[in-house]
Structure 1
Amino acid sequence: MPDLQNQQILLAARPTGMPVPENFRIVHTPAPEPANGQLLLEVLYLSLDPYMRGRMDDAKSYAKPVEIGAVMEGGTVARVVTSKHPDYAPGDIVLSHSGWQRYALSDGENLRKLDPALAPISTALGVLGMPGFTAWAGLLQIGQPKPGEAVVVAAASGAVGSAVGQIARIKGARAVFPLLNDFARVSVCGLISQYNALPQAEPGPDKLALLMRDVLKKSLTIRGFIQREFAALRQDFLREAGQWIEDGRLRYREDIVDGLERAPAAFIDLLQGRNFGKLVIKVAD
């Protein structure tokens, strides 16, 4: 649509350690025109998440890195502007993966319609989105807490950790900070404190041998996971978490920053622990 101007944030250079503003570039281009079977989305909210730091590196991982000069990737809540797709109409609100830009084309794949009457649409990026699902799946499918057991959350001020503690309480566990007991279960979903580390190891003695000793002595279970491994359970999560929010047992905090152009600075702040709650960029009204 020639009268609509797109704003995009591109990866300008791969960071060394902590990202800096120069790693990003803002460009303005005409919004794309949808072809048959496509729809044009206007991004309303953009999710900023720690995993995006890994996408900035050209390193082997569970997902491909963002190419230099490409739009930074990310989950979004968007409104359908123009539709040439039979399943979507202008005005529909959808959960998408449109990245750091104001307008994006979609072929309808991997979109999910949202009902603004059920919950604020921004929650689809937080407590009712990927972070909330990560908390739910990691705790209940891997940790499997039993009533009366203690649950430790390594970082409880962000979108995932803040939900884990509440879900543990709902399920009858105690959220405190003891040492690991025998037969403890450890779910590992992120390593934000390490994302900006250089490839070489941190200075100091290697603690791996001590960790492995405790894994053996205490019969610990440690499992890393990516939330999409449990995709088949997503509807169960949405049903359960939606009910918890409705009855007030699961609460959430959002840190909303206005303006797509502020995404790079907000993302750097996120990696430095300067925000509290789920970080979301408000792109459009």
Structure 2
Amino acid sequence: MPTHEITAAAAGSWTLGDRTVRRMGFGTMRITAAPDADRAIRVLRRAVELGVDHLDTAAFYVSPGGTLNVGSGPARYAPELIRAALAPYSDDLFIATKVGFAYDPATGLREETSPAGLRAQVEENLRRLGRDHLDLVNLRIVKRPGRDSVAESFAALAALRDAGLIRHLGLSNVRLDHLDEAQAIAPVVCVQNSYALDNRGDQDALLRECGARGIAYVPFFALAGARREAGAAAEHPAAVHAVARAHGATPHQVRLAWTLHQGPHVLAIPGTGDPEHVAQNVAAGALRLTAGELAALG
């Protein structure tokens, strides 16, 4: 599939709170695995050059190889790389981040954050991004069997929203009952859950419910599927290959196009540490699948 002159605008737009963003965004988890900061910065700048105006990040996205050196000083976390690449930020750039986990450099583990600790994480995001407010903060939780509550943590973030540190709130890794609980406290503009063509789990109903409520549904691991942090799958179902051949596209582009076809409220945030892959991912937003192809893909 040709990628020249195809920008993120091809995927269309959606409104997050009071901001309109292109449905093809960019996830920044993988830039921390870049061999050097220059490569990570090139990836981020390439995404913005191609019209991406929605970045997804987290303070706990950390370089596994240690500190990367950038012009403004050492960087180890994705928000620091975003700042090095893109600050001063353009007015139309929308940065979503997540709280709910804290990275412990002593143990190398990510640990769940108490409601009382969320303000420190919000402030950490502000400091690393170099901003005086956060466009969107998603509360990332660990789902547990039975009924578990997000009320106390979400209320803590709602208070920070009222204080002006956060503009919009979302949820990550949640169920419908979590969404109901949070919406009773403050507006929710997005739900960010694991969802992929061949790894949908029980998410179809929640995706549809988000659409009915006007809430964005933002899949993570749309390319990796069940491989999750291991990265994009190298093997694909026969139907994916068939559709890719028909369009002169790659299987990964078909996966992203399928994701966007699940509803106008569905946003894609594919991540990569390769500048060339950024253009391929963005170009997937121009791929239009037929009803027959979508049925074949399942």
Q: Shorter chain as normaliser: what TM range?
A: under 0.3
Q: TM-score, normalised by structure 2?
A: 0.24
- The structure in which a higher percent of residues are helix is 2
- The structure in which a higher percent of residues are strand is 1
